[in-house]
Amino acid sequence: MRRLPGGRARESHWRMFPFRASPSGRQENGDKMRVIGIDPGLRNLGWGVIDVAGSRLAHVANGICHSDGGDGDLAVRLLSLHAQLTEVLRAWTPEAAAVEHTFVNKDAVATLKLGQARGIALLVPAQFGLAVGEYAPNAVKKTVVGVGHAAKVQVDHMVRLHLPGVKIAGPDAADALAVAICHAHHVQSSGRLAAALRAAE
């Protein structure tokens, strides 16, 4: 609601959220949940969508958002990533999201730029009303591979085992699918804990 001169109110027709997720992050028609994992990057931002039904995982889609503008205007590149990721969420309608933490290295400028790209990865799901889980790279690898310092090739291999028949768009998409799998595992674990606590009451 906006105020016009003279105190009159004008109804705003701008809507921030294209849709709203259910508060629990689950579909209204059962225990099936759609999760998007995002691997932030300024040049290449990976994304992967899976369906989770109990202990079963199913691949839905994956891909990579490439920022426009090359090494030029940072604002243009961030806008490009925002627009592309928005279309991904609009197309695949996930109900939960997870983003990998930024890895801090010795190059402060590169780390700052990666952090800005990660801001886009957090912002877009939030604009769709989704709660966003955040996981350290080692936590993702530990969950998916079983080793916290696994190589990318090991992550790719285990993602393919978890999602038989999947065609992965590239290493960034594989990492994003791993983030989605990690989130699904933690959601399942927290659900089992909550059920156990309810049973103990």
Q: Quick: pLDDT tens for 98-144.
A: 999 877 667 778 788 889 999 999 999 999 999 999 999 999 999 99
| Higher-pLDDT residue of 14, 189 | 189
Q: What is the pLDDT of residues 52-94, one digit of tens each?
A: 998 899 999 999 999 976 667 899 999 999 999 999 999 999 9
Topology annotation, domain 24-200: Nucleotidyltransferase; domain 5 (3.30.420)
Report the interhelical angle of 152-162 vs 171-200 (nearest 10°): 60
* Domain range list for the chain: 24-200
Q: Which of 39, 51, 95, 156 is catalytic?
A: 39
Cα radius of gyration (the chain): 19
Mean pLDDT for the stretch of residues 169-179: 96
> Does pLDDT of 4 surpass 50?
no
What is the DSSP code (8-state) at residue 67? P
Q: What is the pTM for the complete model shown?
A: 0.80
φ, ψ (nearest 5 deg) of residue 190: -65, -35
Return mean pLDDT, the chain: 83
Residue 172 appears among annotated catalytic residues:
yes
Identify the residue whose tokens are 């999602």. Answer: 163
Listed in sequence order, the DSSP H helices in 23-165 are 74-92, 108-127, 137-144, 152-162
Residue 39 appears among annotated catalytic residues:
yes
Nearest to 173 by CA among 86, 50, 58, 57: 50
Q: Which of 51, 95, 100, 175 is catalytic?
A: 100
pLDDT confidence of residue 29: 41
pLDDT confidence of residue 16: 36
Asked whether the beta carbons of 95 and 35 are under 8 A apart, the reply is: yes
Q: Which of 95, 156, 172, 175 is catalytic?
A: 172
pLDDT confidence of residue 195: 60
pLDDT confidence of residue 92: 98
Residue 71 appears among annotated catalytic residues:
no
- CA distance linking residue 201 with residue 195, whole number of Å: 10
